[in-house]
Every structure is written in C-alpha cells, then in structure tokens.
C-alpha cells in the first residue's frame, strides 16, 4: 500500500519536528534582532532629544549674552551723559530750586531705568578698595579713613551683571599718616631688630 495522504510517517515527523525547532529558533533570533533594533532606536531617540535640549539651552544662553552685550554697549555710551548730568546738577545747586528739582527727577528716572536693566553703580566712600571694580588714581594720608579704603570717588564706576562697564576712579586712604619708619621702609627695621 502506498502512503496515505495526510498521515505522516515517523521519518517525516522527525524532519517536521526538526524544521519546527529551526523555525522556532529562527523566530527567536528574529525577535532578538528586532528587540536589539528597538533598543538601538530608543537610545538614538534619547540622544536626539538630549541634543535638541542642549541646542535649545545653548541658543537661549547665546541670546541672553547677545542681549546683555547690546545693552552693555548702549549703557557704556550713556555713561558720559550720566556723568555730565551729575556735574550739571552739582553746578546748578545755586540756581532756581524748581529747575534743579525737575532735573533731579529726570536723572533719578533715568537711573531707575538703568538699574531695572541690571546696571549697578560701583564705588562707595568708606568701603575697602577693590582693584577688580575700581582704579586708584591717588592715595593720600587720612586720619578719618582706614588704610586702603575709598576716601573719595572721582568718577563712579558701573557694571552690568558680571561685566565691568567702567571701573570707579577713586582716591584711596593711606591711613592716618603716622606709620612707623619700618612700615615705610618695607619692614626692614623690625626685621633687623629681630636678628
């Protein structure tokens, strides 16, 4: 008798089981490949998102720096106007008080506008001299002020945020002027006395 149709012989069953095992392992390999590809694409997506976020932050930071530089340039050009305005107000103290008061109000309004934009005045009489924000144009003895403290402000300094627009020009105190001889000579007399 011939082979019956639809019934598998034991040899065919073994081949069929082997093929189905191969199919299962082939399917598992394809699934593993697809999982690896999905993981690769997810990682790529995360990197792209991080790159986009970093780009956005960099653009925002650069925009802020550009605005600050532009504002700083404008303020630098306005500083001589502020100086002259203050000098004019000092010179006009003997003039009609209504006029002086009016100009003082205009000056205060201008200064408030600059302060709202982040401009700060530098230099206060009595504070310790800071060479990062001020330049000493002279030093004089003073019984009223401690050594290396601002005695007088010749020209105000200004900064915008961390950017120095103009250092303050100041006169610094040398102290009361009764320094001992060894301080004036750099300490050599006291060093000799120790030896």
pLDDT of residue 190: 38
Q: How confident is the model at residue 36 (pLDDT cuts 50, 70, 90)?
A: very high
Residues 6+ apart with CB under 8 A from 193: none
Question: What kind of fold does domain 121-195 have according to CATH?
Answer: Nucleotide Exchange Factor Grpe; Chain A, domain 2 (2.30.22)
Cα–Cα distance between 162 and 183 in angstroms, integer? 36
- State if pTM tops 0.85: no
Cα–Cα distance between 68 and 35 in angstroms, integer? 49
Is pLDDT at 189 greater than 60 in this prediction?
A: no
pLDDT of residue 95: 77
- According to DSSP, residue 175 is labeled -
Domain locations along the chain:
121-195
pLDDT of residue 195: 35
**Mean pLDDT for the chain overall:** 80
Is pLDDT at 4 greater than 60 in this prediction?
A: no
DSSP 94-132: GS-HHHHHHHHHHHHHHHHHHHHTTEEEE--TTSBP-TT
Cα–Cα distance between 69 and 131 in angstroms, integer? 23
């Amino acid at each position: 008798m011939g082979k019956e149709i639809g019934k598998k012989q034991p040899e065919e069953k073994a081949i069929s089981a082997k093929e189905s095992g191969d199919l299962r392992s082939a399917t598992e390999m394809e699934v593993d490949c697809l999982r690896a590809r999905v993981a690769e694409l997810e990682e790529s997506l995360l990197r792209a998102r991080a790159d986009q976020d970093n780009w956005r932050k960099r653009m925002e930071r650069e925009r802020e720096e550009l605005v600050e530089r532009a504002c700083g340039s404008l303020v630098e050009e306005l500083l001589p106007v502020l100086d002259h305005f203050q000098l004019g107000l000092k010179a006009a103290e003997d003039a009609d008080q209504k006029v002086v008061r009016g100009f003082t109000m205009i000056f205060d309004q201008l200064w408030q506008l600059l302060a709202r934009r982040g401009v700060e005045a530098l230099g206060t009489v009595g504070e310790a001299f800071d060479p990062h924000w001020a330049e000493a144009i002279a030093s004089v003895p003073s019984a009223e002020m401690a050594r290396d403290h601002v005695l007088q402000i010749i020209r105000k300094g200004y900064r915008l945020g961390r950017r120095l627009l103009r250092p303050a020009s100041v006169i610094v105190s040398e102290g009361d002027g009764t320094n001992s001889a060894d301080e004036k000579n750099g300490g050599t007399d006291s060093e000799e006395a120790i030896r």
